[in-house]
Amino acid sequence: MTLHARLGARAVTGTLAALLATFSLGAGPAGDSKPAAAGAASSAAAPHDTTTRKALIIEGDNHLFMVSTPDGWVLDDTSGMGSRIRCVFYPKGQKWATAPTVMYVNPLHGYGAKTRTVSMLMAEDEKSFKKNSPRGKVTDGGTIQTTGKKTAVVRYFSNNGGAANEAVAYVPEAELVMLIVLSSKTPQGFQGALAAYREMVQSYAWVASNAELGR
């Protein structure tokens, strides 16, 4: 968790869960050569539909988005608060504070389709990463088509220039870029979690901004 811990969000339940019906979360293929795994689980779901992935709506400062939890992982909206991250994932049986491999979602404001673009953010991230890790390496991780019909551009990061230990998926929205991050202490942990990560990225969908909801 080096470059991208900037999230402040909270989980939403109740009437907003009805918005899940807007989206079809069938287990379709990811938008690249690596297929997503099947069988996500979380805490809000469309009932009586075993083909629909269970998902949770998350509320940020000025928006709502949806994401599902891969099999074997936990979505936790409280343990990351010390890092200003409230939508975090870690393997079942582990804890956010000590898990060697984690995932999280980070809405980054100040970037959007009409202002600072995804390409600009990616260039700035790479420059900052190289400054902090002179031996580091950034490589192309391909793209993933999300449930929300967006193209997530993925970059892999290696702190020492070897095998990657972090991935960031950049998803463009109108007024922000959604960052979806996989971070591991080891390349082995990274590779072991990569399929679950790609599944989680694929499940992502924008729901609405506060303005769109009339709030």
Asked whether residue 15 is domain-assigned, the answer is yes
Give, as one character, the DSSP assignment of residue 212: T
Q: What is the pLDDT of residues 72-83, one digit of tens each?
A: 999 987 887 777
Q: Which amino acid is at 97?
A: A
Closest CA to 68 of 15, 27, 29: 27
d(CA 121, CA 116) in angstroms, rounded, equals 7
State the Rg of the chain over Cα. 16
| Nearest CA among 168, 174, 212 for reference residue 190 | 168
pLDDT band at 141 (very low <50, low <70, confident <90, very high): very high
CATH classification at residue 105: 3.40.1000.10
Which among 75, 210, 202 is positioned nearest to 146, based on CA atoms? 202
Which one has a higher pLDDT value, 135 or 50?
135
Contact 65, 107 (CB under 8 A): yes
Q: What angle do CA 43, 36, 21 make, to 5 degrees?
A: 40
Q: Is the residue at 5 inside a domain?
A: no
Is 214 within the bounds of a domain? Answer: no
The residue among 90, 22, 12 whose CA lies nearest residue 56 is 12
DSSP 13-77: -GGGGGGGGGS----PPPSSSSPPPS----S---TT-TTSPPEEEEE-SSEEEEEE--TTEEEES
Q: Could you tell me the residue range of the domain that residue 141 belongs to?
A: 10-209
- 3 state DSSP class of 189: helix
Q: What one-letter code names the amino acid at 2?
A: T
Min mean pLDDT across 83-87, 129-133, 142-146 is at 83-87
Q: Could you tell me if residue 215 is inside a domain?
A: no
**What's the CA gap between 176 and 161, in Å, rounded?**
30
What is the total count of domains within the chain? 1
Task: Say yes or no to pLDDT of 185 above 90.
Answer: yes
Task: Establish if 2 belongs to a structural domain.
Answer: no
Whole-model pTM: value is 0.75
User: Does residue 180 belong to any structural domain of this protein?
Assistant: yes
pLDDT in tens, 41-98: 333 333 333 333 467 888 776 788 899 999 999 998 788 777 777 689 999 999 999 9
| Residue 157, pLDDT above cutoff 80 | yes
